């Protein structure tokens, strides 16, 4: 037969082995924080990539202008 001490030991051990409601609440909070961080990073990365596309387009446009000017001045551009 189990004594009160045995039952207490089993319940204490069970708390160490199995997750409790408090553990899940803490885990959910940590997951939400992680989700917010990932969303924030994704937004910053998306903005950065859009800026790089715009910048690349601008550089291409300037390069085209340089070639047009060089053609008008009969200058051969080397690159």
pTM: 0.58
Kindly state whether residue 3 falls inside one of the protein's structural domains.
Answer: no
Kindly state whether residue 69 falls inside one of the protein's structural domains.
Answer: yes
Total number of domains constituting the chain: 1
CA atoms within 13 A on the CB side of 44: 6
Q: What is the pLDDT of residue 49?
A: 98
Q: What is the pLDDT of residue 71?
A: 93
Residues 9-25 as b or e (16 or more Cβ within 10 Å = b): eeeeeeeeeeeeeeeee
Cα distances (Å, whole numbers) of residue 70 to 56, 61, 66:
21, 14, 6
Kindly state whether residue 35 falls inside one of the protein's structural domains.
Answer: no
Kindly state whether residue 72 falls inside one of the protein's structural domains.
Answer: yes
Q: What is the pLDDT of residue 64?
A: 95
Q: What is the pLDDT of residue 3?
A: 86
Tokens of 49: 């990539």
Kindly state whether residue 1 falls inside one of the protein's structural domains.
Answer: no
Q: Distance between CA 3 and CA 74 in Å, rounded?
A: 102
Mean pLDDT per 10-residue interval, the chain, length 79 residues: 83 76 86 97 98 98 95 89
Domain of residue 55 covers 42-79
């Amino acid at each position: 037969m189990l004594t009160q001490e045995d039952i207490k030991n089993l319940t204490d051990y069970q708390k160490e082995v199995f997750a409790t409601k408090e553990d899940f609440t803490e885990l959910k909070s940590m997951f939400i924080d992680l989700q917010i961080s990932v969303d924030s990073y994704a937004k910053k990365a998306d903005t950065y990539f859009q800026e790089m596309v715009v910048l690349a387009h601008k550089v291409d446009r300037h390069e085209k202008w340089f070639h047009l000017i060089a053609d008008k001045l009969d200058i051969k551009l080397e690159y």
